[in-house]
Amino acid sequence: MAAKPRWSDLSERTRKLIIITAVAESILKGAALIDIKRRPADQIRGPKWLWVPVVAVVNSAGVVPLSYFVFGRRRPPSQPG
């Protein structure tokens, strides 16, 4: 069995890609968690208590936070104007 590559064995391009992906996912997770905390429960599809650990724990390269923004939020009711 081949040994796992070490960080120093990776090319500079690969290391940069990993760092950029990690930063982007961290930003998306932070934004999603802040939105979940601030948004009323009736504007979120599904229970808030379930979205928080899924967004925070699942390592998904940004897929879970993006799916929260696309599918997990409800639009607030329109204000008559």
Q: What confidence tens digit (pLDDT) does each residue in 38-63 have?
A: 999 999 988 989 889 888 887 776 77
User: pTM of the predicted model, to two decimals?
Assistant: 0.72
Higher-scoring residue by pLDDT: 23, 5: 23
Find, among 43, 70, 40, the residue nearest to 55 by Cα. Answer: 70
For residue 3, is pLDDT > 70? yes
Q: Which pLDDT band holds residue 20 (cuts at 50, 70, 90)?
A: very high
Q: What's the chain's average pLDDT?
A: 85
Name the residue ranges covered by the structural domains of the chain.
14-72
Q: CB count, 10 Å around CB of 80? A: 4
Q: Which pLDDT band holds residue 1 (cuts at 50, 70, 90)?
A: low
